[in-house]
């Protein structure tokens, strides 16, 4: 996107409700000064971050009140994860870890403006539609910017050999059809992971039969509370390893990740809740690595193994029929689908102890007759 | 009666011009044509010229060549 395109205001914006507000009310600067350089003195590029109270909040008070604590604004789980893994014994080391986190991990936060008016800062901004406010922004120019490495590719079928998510492919659904405004603007104070947000999407919001007392499909009746939906209906997801960050000689931040693998691994659910009572869930390896911040400080993540490195995942690559659910025995007795000790590097084994599936927890193969019945 | 008409008209005109010209009043608060922000940001050719000027002094924000891999 050329610089002029990023800042061009469509004249039709001036006829909208938001267009009736003087530019300087939100962006400051001097609208009477004909010299663009001095006119931009004190300009606020995104008047909605970190606090949209004086801008959006003037009219949308109820939304701003919760949105300022939303996951997109605060990225709070990152903070919790990194602080848990950080070296807390040495204060100066801990401070350096926090600075590195702010510089790298917090770089892709969002704000009211960075979803509804412009592309996120992480993509170097640029109006979505000439400053016209987008009630439901286009996923290709907003969500995909930060979630493009993994989720967007899975959902739209950008990973070779793996078709797009059925919700996208057949129903032409977008991110916002499941991730509603209610979720996006939800207060996330006290939420440890995004999976704990009460407003998060749930398959059963649409697929009500699956959680009914007597689901129509036999496999749903058998596996209902034992397996997360994705265990049967997701395809492989993208797993990343060995991320290292730093700053180059020109002052630009860099991200280096090691290999990327398309894998499908099922693990044990170590955080069972009433809403997620499953024994088995789909896992993903995020790029985190003990040496993540080595550029800034050695041994910064001394407590790295306090948290598992194989994490609960809900891949956005849903299909009704998948390689693992074609027949019962495509999964039962199929060791390769499960995260076993040999799949996990030595230094990660302690952190993932509860997640690794021991041999006696890999479901036994079933007889062919039962297999046929079960596959319905 | 006539001697009151002229002063009343003058007073009304002064009041109306105060309302319309004072930037603090609500009628004048919206984006008006005298806003330099609007004049420039809605004019593509002006923006192109200005951004050329900017890019001469401030090179396009770059990306580190050391970035590698996915994720």
Give the residue on A whose Cα is nearest the Cα of B66: A254
* Helix extents (H) in chain A: 3-7, 23-27, 36-39, 61-67, 71-74, 76-85, 91-103, 113-116, 143-147, 151-156, 166-169, 175-178, 181-184, 218-223, 229-233, 368-374
Of A3, A8, A20, the CB nearest to B30: A20
**Strand pairing report for A253-256 and A244-247:** antiparallel
Name the residue with tokens 């927890």. Answer: A361
Complex ipTM over 0.90: no
Global pTM reads 0.86
Q: Closest Cα of chain A to B20: distance in Å?
A: 15
Please report the pLDDT score of residue A120 as a whole number: 94
Tell whether the model's pLDDT for residue B25 goes beyond 60: no
Distance CA A242, CA A289 (A): 5
Taking only the tens of pLDDT, chain A with its 376 residues reads 899 999 999 999 999 999 999 999 999 999 999 999 999 999 999 999 999 999 999 999 999 999 999 999 999 999 999 999 999 999 999 999 999 999 998 888 899 999 999 999 988 899 999 999 999 999 999 999 999 989 999 999 999 999 999 999 999 999 999 999 999 999 999 999 999 999 999 999 999 998 888 999 999 999 989 999 999 999 999 999 999 999 999 899 999 989 999 999 999 999 999 999 999 999 999 998 999 999 999 999 999 999 999 999 999 999 999 999 999 999 999 999 999 999 999 989 999 999 999 999 999 999 866 545 444 4
CB spacing of B48 vs A22 below 8 angstroms: no
Does residue B28 sit at the A interface (CB-CB below 8 Å)?
Answer: no
Give the residue on B whose Cα is nearest the Cα of A247: B64
Grouping H, G, I as helix, E, B as strand and the rest as coil, residue A263 is strand
Partners of residue A25 in chain B, C-beta under 8 Å: 29
Does residue B35 sit at the A interface (CB-CB below 8 Å)?
Answer: yes
Distance CA A26, CA A56 (A): 9
Does residue B25 sit at the A interface (CB-CB below 8 Å)?
Answer: no
Grouping H, G, I as helix, E, B as strand and the rest as coil, residue A207 is coil
Residues 6+ apart with CB under 8 A from A207: none
CB spacing of A287 vs B71 below 8 angstroms: yes
């Amino acid at each position: 996107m050329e610089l002029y395109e990023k800042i061009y205001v469509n004249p039709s914006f001036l006829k909208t409700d938001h267009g009736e507000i003087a530019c300087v009310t939100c962006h400051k600067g001097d609208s009477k000064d004909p010299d663009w350089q001095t006119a931009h003195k004190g300009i606020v590029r995104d008047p909605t971050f970190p606090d949209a109270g004086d801008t959006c909040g003037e009219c949308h008070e109820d939304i701003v009140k919760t949105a300022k604590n939303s996951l997109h604004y605060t990225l709070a789980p990152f903070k919790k994860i990194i602080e848990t893994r950080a070296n807390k014994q040495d204060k100066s080391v801990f401070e350096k870890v926090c600075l590195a986190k702010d510089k790298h991990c917090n770089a892709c936060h969002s704000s009211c403006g960075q979803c509804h008016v412009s592309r996120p800062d992480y993509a170097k901004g640029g109006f979505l539609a000439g400053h016209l406010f987008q009630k439901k922004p286009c996923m290709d120019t907003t969500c995909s910017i930060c979630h493009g490495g993994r989720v967007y590719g899975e959902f739209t079928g950008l990973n070779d050999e793996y078709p797009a998510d059925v919700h996208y492919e057949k129903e032409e659904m977008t991110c916002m059809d499941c991730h509603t405004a209610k979720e996006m603007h939800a207060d996330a104070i006290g939420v440890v992971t995004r999976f704990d947000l009460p407003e998060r999407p749930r398959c059963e919001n649409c697929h009500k039969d699956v959680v009914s007392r007597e689901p129509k499909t036999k496999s749903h009746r058998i596996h209902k509370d034992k397996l997360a939906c994705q265990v049967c209906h997701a395809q492989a997801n993208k797993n990343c390893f060995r991320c290292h960050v730093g700053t180059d000689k020109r002052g630009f931040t860099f991200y280096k990740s090691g290999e990327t693998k398309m894998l499908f691994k099922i693990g044990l659910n170590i955080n069972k809740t009433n809403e997620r009572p499953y024994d088995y869930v789909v896992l993903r390896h995020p790029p985190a690595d003990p040496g993540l911040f080595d550029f800034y400080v050695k041994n910064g993540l001394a407590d790295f193994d306090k948290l598992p490195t194989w994490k609960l995942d809900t891949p956005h690559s849903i299909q009704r029929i998948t390689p693992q659910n074609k027949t019962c025995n495509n999964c039962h007795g199929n060791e390769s689908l499960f995260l076993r000790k040999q799949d996990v590097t030595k230094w990660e084994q302690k952190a993932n102890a509860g997640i690794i599936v021991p041999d006696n927890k890999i479901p036994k193969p079933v007889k062919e007759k039962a297999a046929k019945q079960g596959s319905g | 009666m006539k001697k009151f008409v002229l002063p009343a008209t003058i007073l009304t005109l002064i009041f109306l011009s105060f309302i319309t010209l004072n930037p603090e009043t609500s009628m004048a608060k919206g984006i008006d044509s005298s806003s330099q922000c609007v004049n420039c940001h809605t004019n593509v050719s002006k923006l192109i010229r200005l951004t050329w000027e900017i890019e001469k002094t401030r090179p396009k924000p770059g990306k580190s060549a050391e970035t590698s891999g996915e994720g």
